[in-house]
Amino acid sequence: MQRRQRRKNNTLNRTQMKQILLSLFAVLAISTTTYAQTCTPLGNQTTYGTNDTWIGYVYSNMDFTGYVGYVNQGSAGNPFFDQSFGGADVMYPTNGCPVETETFSVRYKLTRVVPNGTYRVTVAGDDGYRFSLDGGATWIVNKWNDQTYMSTTIDITLSGTVNAVLEYYENSGPNRLTFAFGPVCVPMENQATYGTNNVWKGYVYEGTNFNTYKGMVTKGSSASFDFDENFGGDMVTYNTSACPVTTDNFSVRYRLTKTFTAGTYTFLVGGDDGYRFSLDGGATWAINNWGIHTFTTSSYNVVLSGTKNMVIEYYDATAANRVRFSLVQNTVLPISLVSFTGKQTTGGLNVSWKVSDDSNPDFFEVERSTEGISFRNIATVDATSSTSYSYTDASQTSANSFYRLKMTDLTGTVTYSNVISIQTNTAIAEGINVFPNIITGNSLYLETSTALNRASVIISDANGRQVNQKAIGKISKGQITTIETSTSKLPAGLYFLQVVEGNQSISVKRFIVK
């Protein structure tokens, strides 16, 4: 009886187990059917994307088998993309089924109309990648092997419709694919040209030692040549007149021609990293901090006058970037008179003067007086780059003359020199007689009460300009000497006849040509 009951229980247990197993199989079948229905791969694997939007067909194996669905990359007007597929060994969603980002592959397709020109293609990936412009018939970029992330760039001339195919596979570890495409930019500027009117011309280069020229930028304005530039930030795209540059491992050379009024100037230049500043076109560096460092500043104090070719050079090697330039002080110096002297010469009474190197004169007025009190202007001498000046008063006949300088600087400030006097040789001068005072013919007559051995005469107009000169030689005491003046060639007006003995002026007489 007991044995029969145990047999009955075993039969029931086997029946129950069979029913449980059948139920599990049913659940699995239902689950599989449900999954298949929600994971149908979409896309026909042949259609090309348009309007700069790629269609990427995704596969669960590295050899483009096991199709799971498609994705899109790029956008209207911008076919660039940089895809890391969500990371290593994760589930990457598609329009269809997800794929595990390990031992998978993607084939991207895009049809595009390209205007005639030269274009730069950059493809980078980890692991293999290759790029075609004829639907995959040939590969202009082919790096189809396991590798860490690396980049390939080529320039190619294109025109018309292209069927671009970009293929990628991932074997193990990290995964990433990058694509960039655009016209090749060609900088056209003359990199030696200086900016003007307070506007710097900045020539931008890829590389920290002015390696590859990319294009030009400008800094400053007509109101001020100061500027402070941070290039938009670290590791960003900085645009120029031609090609953009990434703000890491780049350099810039700024140029500006500027005319400085005489004065003392203090310049401030700063940068992160290296910078240097020149006032002579880069022949020498007034400021030189050419090294890798955080932002620092340097100043330079100098006396300037005239036109300078300024150059600022800058480079960035790591992390943050910034370059700054400003004029922090400008002091215009007054005129400093070093010397003021006078003497009698063969041409008349000569005054000469010298100013210091840091003076900033605009012009000088030579003033004369017969008594040393009341002065009148007899000549204006414009300032030049020289520090030494002179003027000869050929019309002076007084035995004792007084002179001073009225000096005007570039700011319009007026200062006066000390007064000097010049004594002529009156003993000989009183014995000289020239007649007639008014000439209608061609001759003057010279009579001297003292013998002369090396006599000569100089004729000057009312403005002190020499118009005639004649050597006479020996003249006896009381001798009357005829002087041919060629007055028919002289315009009517006032003239001066200067009598010279050797190198010394001994008398100046007036006469009038009718």
Cβ-Cβ contacts under 8 Å for 243 (sequence gap 6 or more): 185, 187, 214, 215
Length of the chain counted residue by residue:
514
For 491-508, write each residue's pLDDT tens digit: 888 777 777 777 666 676
The amino acid occupying position 452 is: L
Sorting pLDDT into bands at 50, 70 and 90, what band is 443? confident
* 13 pLDDT higher than 70: no
- Rg over alpha carbons for the chain, rounded to the nearest Å, is 48
CB 214 within 8 A of CB 161: no
The pLDDT of residue 396 is: 64
CB 254 within 8 A of CB 309: no
Instruction: Determine whether 35 is exposed, middle or buried from the number of CB atoms within 10 Å of its CB (0-12, 13-18, 19+).
Output: exposed
Q: Using alpha carbons, select from 435, 426, 425, 443 the residue that is nearest to residue 511.
A: 435
Q: Using alpha carbons, select from 153, 278, 292, 268 the residue that is nearest to residue 209.
A: 292
Sorting pLDDT into bands at 50, 70 and 90, what band is 441? low
Q: Using alpha carbons, select from 105, 136, 142, 135 the residue that is nearest to residue 121.
A: 142
Average pLDDT over residues 114-120: 84
What separation in angstroms does the CA of 185 have from each of 119, 152, 214, 241, 448?
A: 9, 18, 8, 9, 87
Among 109-113, 256-260, 360-364, the minimum mean pLDDT is found in 360-364
Instruction: Determine whether 53 is exposed, middle or buried from the number of CB atoms within 10 Å of its CB (0-12, 13-18, 19+).
Output: middle
* 449 pLDDT higher than 90: no
